[in-house]
Structure 1
């Protein structure tokens, strides 16, 4: 038999993974719904840009609106500025998604001009009362404005004004200055509908979202007494002063929903069988996710060779009073240690150089006089150590199966 709250936890985790529920933004949703419905119900073409930070819910907002429309009243065309990097790719995708390649006169494999002419003629041949509405979603809208002469944007916005086939253009972007990126001729054809999605600025808003994510819905297949007990516990959890402090800390860290979702998912995953969520579970998850010592995390992610180089670097820095060093100095120190210990093989020089460079990329060592280093061979570029030997010692004590000879070497800088 499954534990009492197993189904509750599994349902909540599924909700977090799917992440298709819209929180807040009721006013913005109604505004977008009215714009879209004017197109699908009355054949009035329009355009709108939704602006908001990454992970603020722009796509979720659009999806929630589209789900409320009658399935036979519209066709959705989705484009993404990261995928459709030029107008030709975007145009072919529009034709393919509208399944126009099977129509007489279609020229999907033709030139850009031929394809564009075919698409625009198809739009003009439509009827605002009889034709099915087309909703074109342009994700990463700002990237489309970087296309040559903004030809595609100009023509689709121009088609919106022609009032033939009902069109609704929805742009999604995180750039607040996106309208200013449009050329004058494109801007004049844009309807200037902009919907702003502002991230939460108060911890109360974050707590409300936390409550929504943890509450068991009525349609969930859980016995009423169990769901009631779980939801009552959630109410107490939200009212707890420690949870409120946690929300404030999380808000300072990030105001998008991703980190909150990760926090909740980890807390639910770590619950023991039959237990309900407690403040300690949320706090432990927060500490594990967002208050880790990142230098220690980086050190534990090093290979044995890289860790040996870090020990050599720390020893050198202690002996020479934090004086700058280059690869040759550290390589000589490492080779001397490796040659005196039969348990370690002297690695090829090129491999050691790559390990040294990775340490630099991770910013465990920092370059000195970057401008001067450009004209110096990489083996002789100067660096300074950014961490202490104590930190390396702490990492080595928890490093998985580190050879004992290396642990002894850490405490001796005679070599």
Structure 2
């Protein structure tokens, strides 16, 4: 294979120890596609950090079901983004690498957001176990009878049956099904010696046990696996480098080693470390870390062949954008004046609610003292005020919802912090200087 050395400057040669193949564009497209799949899809299992003990316990539990036919039930609990689904995928990937286990263990994956009642869940179980032909047009008397028929249909000529793993994502939503029939039957079968099954519930609700009926609780093993996002910063930093590294399955291995070295160096760059620390202090959620990487990965191309510290700084700036402050960039000058009037009223009355009449008087005092300001009539100002309510920048107080209260005298509260107003004014396009000075005053004009 020929090496393309054209378009390479002295600086590029110093940074890149290896020259790239002729089809540079295709290679960078491959890198970008590979990293996008790691960041945006569940097809690849991310390397586990900080959950080694939990992973080992879950691995042994499912393995005993797959190899020894031991029935189990367990709940995996943790906040959103703590790595519950990633942990399960990692365990199942390692288990199914064993051909005997892969052929012996059946898997059924249900989600409380999709299987909204027991009938829908039963149809999905039938589909995933490929038993549509066995059920046919048969009519069953109850849910338990139908489920038992499905499990019996899996049995071979002998009395043995393949172990089944039931993974119930959003487990708490199944607890809201009528009579909790699905949960009752699954836990009941897991206690019997007829069919080896493992019921694995996944939820972010720590109080999910309290949602279960007494008869369901009595059949649940009460095993719970709690996941906590307690990664030390050093491991958080390693996770950053791990996600952006190219694995052994990357098609162009001649570039993988060089790329991974550059990622390791990037993870120790002072600017990148500063960005990671800022994100780490706000949230240790792995998803947030992945969101930080999406923008820099999207920039990769032939003209931008390496991830750079500036890309992550820009990505952090976009992630930390204040949505309320950004909304203020689109309001009119009149609406902006009303927001500032409300800000001053909050300062004067220490956050107490206000009404439109108070805001209008505050606005009038400012507009009449500024010869360059156009003074709008009251109906026009009221329309602008109602638009701010529609944008949810201002909210009516609950006690003022009565039909007898005129809209001009309804009590309101401002949903924007004063610091957000000042931040928005700095970036407001062509904002008059006198408005900026008015907003910066400690007290009303």
Name the TM-score, length of structure 2 as normaliser.
Answer: 0.72
Residues of 2 paired with 1:125 and 1:271: CA distance? Answer: 52
- Aligned residue in 2 for 1:288: 318
2:265 corresponds to which of 236, 245, 251: 236
Answer whether contact 1:124 1:162 (CA < 8 A) is retained.
no
2:281 corresponds to which of 236, 241, 252: 252
Kindly tell me: are residues 13 and 411 of structure 1, through their superposed partners in 2, closer, same or farther at Cα, counting changes over 3 Å?
Answer: closer
Residues of 2 paired with 1:9 and 1:269: CA distance? Answer: 7
The answer to whether structure 1 residue 203 and structure 2 residue 203 are counterparts is: no
CA displacement, residues 87-137 of structure 1 (integer Å, 9 cap, x when unaligned): 3433343344434443357557x7xx5233222244357659632332211
Give the secondary structure class of the aligned counterpart of 1:165.
coil
- Aligned residue in 1 for 2:192: 162
Residues of 1 paired with 2:334 and 2:427: CA distance? Answer: 12
2:298 corresponds to which of 264, 269, 287: 269
CA displacement, residues 125-164 of structure 1 (integer Å, 9 cap, x when unaligned): 7659632332211111122223344332121111112222
Displacement of 1:252: 1.8
Residues of 2 paired with 1:187 and 1:271: CA distance? Answer: 52
Name the TM-score, length of structure 1 as normaliser.
Answer: 0.76
Answer whether contact 2:45 2:86 (CA < 8 A) is retained.
yes
Kindly tell me: are residues 153 and 308 of structure 1, through their superposed partners in 2, closer, same or farther at Cα, counting changes over 3 Å?
Answer: same
Unaligned runs of 5+ in 2: 1-22, 368-372, 439-445
Residues of 1 paired with 2:57 and 2:422: CA distance? Answer: 58
Residues of 2 paired with 1:316 and 1:219: CA distance? Answer: 59
Answer whether contact 1:325 1:383 (CA < 8 A) is retained.
yes
1:356 corresponds to which of 375, 381, 388: 388
Displacement of 1:209: 0.6
> What is the aligned-residue RMSD (CA, Å)?
4.1
Answer whether contact 2:143 2:181 (CA < 8 A) is retained.
no
The answer to whether structure 1 residue 62 and structure 2 residue 93 are counterparts is: no
Residues of 2 paired with 1:391 and 1:154: CA distance? Answer: 55
CA displacement, residues 351-405 of structure 1 (integer Å, 9 cap, x when unaligned): 767623223x23xx355xx35313235453133555487556434317xxxxxxx
Answer whether contact 1:328 1:379 (CA < 8 A) is retained.
yes
Give the secondary structure class of the aligned counterpart of 1:309.
helix
The answer to whether structure 1 residue 120 and structure 2 residue 118 are counterparts is: no
Give the secondary structure class of the aligned counterpart of 1:168.
strand
Give the secondary structure class of the aligned counterpart of 2:142.
helix
Which aligned pairs between 1:340-355 and structure 2 lie closer than 5 A? 355=387
Answer whether contact 1:366 1:383 (CA < 8 A) is retained.
yes
Residues of 2 paired with 1:310 and 1:236: CA distance? Answer: 46
Residues of 1 paired with 2:411 and 2:64: CA distance? Answer: 65
Answer whether contact 1:268 1:277 (CA < 8 A) is retained.
yes
Which aligned pairs between 1:8-407 and structure 2 lie closer than 5 A? 8-19=31-42, 20-24=44-48, 25-67=51-93, 68-69=95-96, 70=99, 71-103=102-134, 114-123=142-151, 127=155, 130-222=160-252, 224=254, 226-270=255-299, 273-290=303-320, 292-300=321-329, 302=330, 304=332, 308-314=334-340, 326-327=355-356, 355-359=387-391, 361-362=392-393, 365=394, 367=396, 370-375=397-402, 376-383=405-412, 386-387=417-418, 393-397=425-429
Kindly tell me: are residues 106 and 303 of structure 1, through their superposed partners in 2, closer, same or farther at Cα, counting changes over 3 Å?
Answer: farther
The worse-fitting range, judged by mean Cα deviation, of 209-218 and 77-86 is: 77-86
Unaligned runs of 5+ in 1: 399-405
Paired residues in the alignment total 390
Answer whether contact 2:113 2:170 (CA < 8 A) is retained.
yes
Give the secondary structure class of the aligned counterpart of 1:60.
helix
Give the secondary structure class of the aligned counterpart of 2:231.
coil
The worse-fitting range, judged by mean Cα deviation, of 272-281 and 251-260 is: 272-281
Displacement of 1:260: 0.6
Displacement of 1:169: 1.0
Give the secondary structure class of the aligned counterpart of 1:195.
strand
Kindly tell me: are residues 125 and 378 of structure 1, through their superposed partners in 2, closer, same or farther at Cα, counting changes over 3 Å?
Answer: same
Residues of 1 paired with 2:435 and 2:270: CA distance? Answer: 44
Residues of 1 paired with 2:285 and 2:109: CA distance? Answer: 24
